[in-house]
């Protein structure tokens, strides 16, 4: 396997920080031991944790107003994978990439898979795109795709999803994520029920074509690009459609796709309860679908979501196997740094959720002791688990301090020279 960054540099940096890390780790180990928690067992769980990187996150995103490309951005999916390999080399919890078509379309998907193999990467869910028109596309998605009034447009959108499955099969993926921007901008523009019926008929055609070992992830989003109503607007619409389609259709929760202040962790619990949680697009948001870096604004919310996930994991909830992916837009940071940091922040929430004294929590819940119940969660959240995360990375061969090593490596500067006409990478505008 080729490594993107000199392994010697990683080792050297790790050795320099080894004594301090060991001291911090030992101290945290003693704190956890007083709570009856074995730090080694938690570190093992941290080592097993994985979250997929979105291929489109490796380039600068942008807004409706402008995109400001950074130096050396990947120009194609091969280069996107090289950046993903840097991320994985340093953080060791991002072994897979979620591709987006046609942004990541190539002539030869087996060549792409070989490239990923050589970099030590695999593929997570593939994403279809019927929210934009592509050059040369016969029919427009201006008024919708899977739910369009014109059956010919619907057929085109279905066909695109079917080809995404074919490409994904070559890549070794086993899930299709379908997000449509279909909706309306004016009251009265669309008939809500007829529109959803058309969507369901199209989604059924895709669902029926899924290979035996594939799942279909339905991603909801409150608004944008449609600003009055959206076909799969909320988790209610999403779960109703998933229930209509069948067991292998489940709901994907993108953290930025809800109204402000919505209780996302409770939505997650509901979806788990009814075996309908497909997985996540992690990011953070202040106003809407901001696609800010995971955990940058609401780390406690992210922890509370993981509290539900760990609860389900520890109770051995049937059929519980969510896919974890990032979905962010990086406008003012180096995307590699943001993705590394975000992967760590998601892993941090997971590890903190593992520290919750669950038996105590259940007892406080039974006794209706709101104060001690909530403090039980806070007791886990308030601990700094950074030494566990660093230790897990080092044991996996990654960097204790990924951003410091990345900066010292000069990778961005090097690729800037090799990628002269950058700025062409996949959009983050949606
Ligand atoms: C839509 C979305 C969806 C798309 C991605 C680029 O806002 O979250 O997941 O595929 O952004
Ligand atoms: Mn998303
Ligand atoms: Mn989004």
CA nearest ligand 1 atom 9, residue: 179
Give the distance, in angstroms, between the CA of residue 144 and the centroid of all CA atoms in the same chain: 25
The neighbour count for residue 318, using CB atoms within 10 Å, is 7
Ligand 1 atom nearest 219 alpha carbon: 9
pLDDT at residue 430, rounded to an integer: 39
Ligand 1 atom at shortest distance from the alpha carbon of 254: 8
> How far is 63 from 250, CA to CA, in rounded Å?
29
Please state, in angstroms and as integers, the Cα–Cα distance from residue 71 to each residue in 68, 81, 82, 86, following that order: 10, 17, 15, 16
Q: Are strands 122-123 and 96-98 parallel, antiparallel or unpaired?
A: parallel
Tokens of 24: 């911090």
Report which protein residue has its CA nearest ligand 1's atom 1.
430
Q: Are 171 and 126 in contact (CB under 8 A)?
A: yes
- Ligand 1 binding pocket includes 219 (Cβ within 6 Å): yes
Whether the CB of 285 sits within 6 Å of ligand 1: no
Work out which ligand 1 atom sits closest to the CA atom of 224. 7
Q: List pLDDT tens digits, range 336-354.
A: 999 999 999 999 999 999 9
Rounded distance from Cα 281 to ligand 2 centre (Å): 5
Q: Which ligand is nearest to the CA of 57?
A: 1
Q: What single string gives the DSSP state of each residue in 238-267?
A: HHHHHHHH-TTEEEEEETTSS-TT--HHHH
Rounded to an integer, what distance in angstroms lies between the CA atom of residue 58 and that of residue 51? 15
Per-residue confidence (pLDDT) for residue 427, from 0 to 100: 45
CA–CA separation, 45 and 43 (whole Å): 5
Q: How many whole angstroms from 428 Cα to the centroid of ligand 2?
A: 10
Distance CA 61, CA 103 (A): 13
**Ligand index nearest the alpha carbon of residue 100:** 1
Q: How many CB atoms lie within 10 A of CB 61?
A: 21
Share of the chain residues as helix, strand and coil, in percent rounded to the nearest 5 = 50, 10, 40
Q: Could you give the CA distance from residue 182 to residue 195 in angstroms, rounded to a whole number?
A: 9
- The residue whose CB lies within 8 Å of the most ligand 1 atoms, and thus the one to mutate among 60, 327, 329, is 327
The CB of 325 under 6 Å from ligand 1? The reply is no
Q: Which atom of ligand 1 sits closest to the CA of residue 428?
A: 6
Phi, psi at residue 138, to the nearest 5°?
A: -60, -45
Tokens representing residue 94 in the block: 């991002």
Residues 6+ apart with CB under 8 A from 48: none
Question: Which of 219, 283, 291 has most ligand 1 atoms within 8 Å of CB, for mutation?
Answer: 219
ipTM (interface pTM) = 0.99
Q: Tell me, what's the pLDDT at 420?
A: 84
The pLDDT value given to residue 2: 64
In DSSP notation, 64-113 reads SS-----TT--SSHHHHHHHHHHHHHHHSS--EEE-BTTTT--S-HHHHH
Q: Residues 228, 231, 237, CA angle at the centre, nearest 5°?
A: 115
Cα 211 to middle of ligand 3, angstroms:
27
**What residue spans define the domains of the chain?**
51-359
State the DSSP H helix or E strand holding residue 12, giving kind and residue range, or none if neither: helix 7-34
Structure pTM?
0.97
DSSP single-letter state for residue 57: G
Which pLDDT belongs to residue 135? 95
Residues of the chain with pLDDT under 50: 424-430
Q: Is the CB of 179 under 6 A from ligand 1?
A: yes
Q: What is the residue whose two structure tokens read 């069948």?
A: 246
Q: Please name the residues in contact with 412: beta carbons below 8 A apart, sequence gap of 6 or more.
A: 70, 71, 72, 334, 336
Cβ atoms 206, 238 nearer than 8 A: no
What is each CA distance from 256 to 2, 109, 237, 298, in whole angstroms? 35, 31, 17, 11
pLDDT value, residue 423: 52
Domain at 51-359, CATH homologous superfamily: Divalent-metal-dependent TIM barrel enzymes (3.20.20.150)
Indicate whether residue 258 lines ligand 1 (CB < 6 A). no
Buried-exposed string 328-345: b where 16+ CB fall within 10 A, e elsewhere: bbbbeebbbbbbbbbbbb
The secondary structure element, H or E, covering residue 226 is none
Pocket test for ligand 1, best of 161, 230, 254 (most atoms within 8 A of CB): 254
Predicted confidence at residue 381, as pLDDT, reads: 99
Q: What atom of ligand 1 comes closest to residue 181's alpha carbon?
A: 1
For ligand 1, what atom is nearest to the CA of residue 252? 9
CA distances from 213 to 101, 117, 174, 176, 209 (A): 21, 21, 6, 11, 11
């Amino acid at each position: 396997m080729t490594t993107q960054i000199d392994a010697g540099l990683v080792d050297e940096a790790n050795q320099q920080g080894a004594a301090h890390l060991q001291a911090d780790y030992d101290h945290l180990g003693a704190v956890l031991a007083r709570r009856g928690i074995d730090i080694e067992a938690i570190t093992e769980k941290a080592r097993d944790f994985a979250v997929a990187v979105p291929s489109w996150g490796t380039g600068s995103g942008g807004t409706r107003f402008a995109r400001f490309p950074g130096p050396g951005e990947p120009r194609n999916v091969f280069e996107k994978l090289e950046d993903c390999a840097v991320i994985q080399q340093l953080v060791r919890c991002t072994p897979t990439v979620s591709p987006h078509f046609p942004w990541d379309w190539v002539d030869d998907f087996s060549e792409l898979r070989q490239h990923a193999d050589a970099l030590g990467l695999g593929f997570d869910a593939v994403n279809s795109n019927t929210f934009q028109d592509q050059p040369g596309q016969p029919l427009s998605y201006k008024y919708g795709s899977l739910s369009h009034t014109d059956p010919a447009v619907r057929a085109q959108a279905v066909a695109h999803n079917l080809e995404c499955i074919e490409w994904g099969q070559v890549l070794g993926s086993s899930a299709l994520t379908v997000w449509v921007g279909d909706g309306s901008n004016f009251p009265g523009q669309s008939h809500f029920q007829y529109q959803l019926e058309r969507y369901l008929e199209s989604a059924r055609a895709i669902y029926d074509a899924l290979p035996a070992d594939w799942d279909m992830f339905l991603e909801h989003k409150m608004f944008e690009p449609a600003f009055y109503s959206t076909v799969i607007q909320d988790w209610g619409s999403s779960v109703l459609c998933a229930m209509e389609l069948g067991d292998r259709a489940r709901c994907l929760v993108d953290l930025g796709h809800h109204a402000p202040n919505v209780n996302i962790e409770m939505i997650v619990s509901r979806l788990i309860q009814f075996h309908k949680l497909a997985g996540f697009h992690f990011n953070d948001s202040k106003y809407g679908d901001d696609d800010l870096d995971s955990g940058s604004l609401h780390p406690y919310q992210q922890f509370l979501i993981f509290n539900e996930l760990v609860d389900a994991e520890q109770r051995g909830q049937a059929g519980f196997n969510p896919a974890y992916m990032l979905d962010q837009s990086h406008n003012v940071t180096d995307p590699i740094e943001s993705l590394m940091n975000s992967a760590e922040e998601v892993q941090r929430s997971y590890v903190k959720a593992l520290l919750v004294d669950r038996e105590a929590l259940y007892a406080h819940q039974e006794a209706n002791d709101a104060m001690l119940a909530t403090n039980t969660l806070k007791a886990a959240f308030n601990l700094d688990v950074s030494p566990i995360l660093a230790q897990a990375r080092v044991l996996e061969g990654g960097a204790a301090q990924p951003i410091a090593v990345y900066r010292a490596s000069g990778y961005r500067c090097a690729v800037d020279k090799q990628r002269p006409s950058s700025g062409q990478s996949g959009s983050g505008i949606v």
